[in-house]
Amino acid sequence: MDCCPQKSPGPAWRRQPSHWHARAGYVCSGAAPHRARQRSPPPRQQRALTALASLQTEPPLVNGWTSSYNGVLEATESVSFTVLVKEQNLDQLTKTALEVSDPESPKYTQYLTQLQIDQLTAPKASDVQTVRTWLATQTSCIVAGHKNRVFTVKCSAEAAGALLSTSFRRLHNRKTGQRAVRASHFALPSKVEAACHVQGLHGLPLPPKPSMKASERRSLRQGPGPQVHQDPCCKFLQYSLLFSLNPCSRPTSRRP
């Protein structure tokens, strides 16, 4: 007789291999099988994932631009971008511009005022409210609006990353020495993407103008070159052409 009696093998389901339990979704706890708990994201994150629209990919870096060695921005560093609410009746505005420029059109020279253009292209009130509500989710953002269609946003990198589902990093140009801050891929909620466009996330500054050479600076200091004699007949033809194009430029005769 053994001093240590053997344990009972237990129910059949407990004698199955461990990989069978993993496939079936059960966990052996020694008493009875129960369904393993699946971890799911918090409700807020889950809603954000399902509500995001198509991803806006970051363009490749060209012309000497590359990421800095300390490229990642701190959460408290400031970034800015612009939100443009989609305007209405742009096709009608284009049609009107062609009509007022056509001499054969009855609307020729009947130009619209700036107020008429603003009223014609005003965004939908629902789109403006959608953008305002979206920006208000980050209370630390400073928003400046213009005519309810252009919103300039300035906030921390952390708040902007939460709004745009993105991250920011520093860039520098090896050729020109310029520096910039740029976002990676970003995405907007579907309802927000249908109401606006976002600018200022992927743009880079133009290269600086080349400095003036010493020879060019010297020629400017010396003044213009020698004057070329012009035939009076050619000068008369120039004035005649000028007066025919612009009658208002004709000289008026003074009374003695």
Torsion of CA 135, 137, 142, 143, to 10 degrees: 20
The C-alpha atoms of residue 239 and residue 13 are separated, in whole angstroms, by 107
* pLDDT for res 71: 81
The C-alpha atoms of residue 134 and residue 195 are separated, in whole angstroms, by 11
pLDDT 10s digit of each residue in the chain, 256 long?
555 555 555 554 444 444 444 344 333 344 444 443 434 444 443 344 345 667 899 999 999 999 987 788 999 999 999 999 999 999 999 999 999 999 999 999 999 999 999 999 999 999 999 999 999 999 999 999 999 999 999 999 999 999 999 999 999 999 999 999 999 999 999 999 999 999 999 999 998 887 766 666 666 666 555 555 555 555 544 545 444 545 554 455 455 4
pTM: 0.62
* pLDDT for res 27: 37
Q: Give the amino acid at 215.
A: S
* pLDDT for res 230: 52
Q: How is the chain split into domains, by residue range?
A: 47-86+124-199, 88-122
Contact yes or no for 173/111 (Cβ under 8 A) = no
Q: Is 191 helix (H, G, I), strand (E, B) or coil?
A: helix
Strand partners, 199: 82
* pLDDT for res 196: 96
The C-alpha atoms of residue 181 and residue 171 are separated, in whole angstroms, by 6
Nearest Cα to 194, choosing from 130, 149, 125?
130
The C-alpha atoms of residue 77 and residue 112 are separated, in whole angstroms, by 44
Contact yes or no for 181/71 (Cβ under 8 A) = no
Nearest Cα to 90, choosing from 193, 197, 200?
197
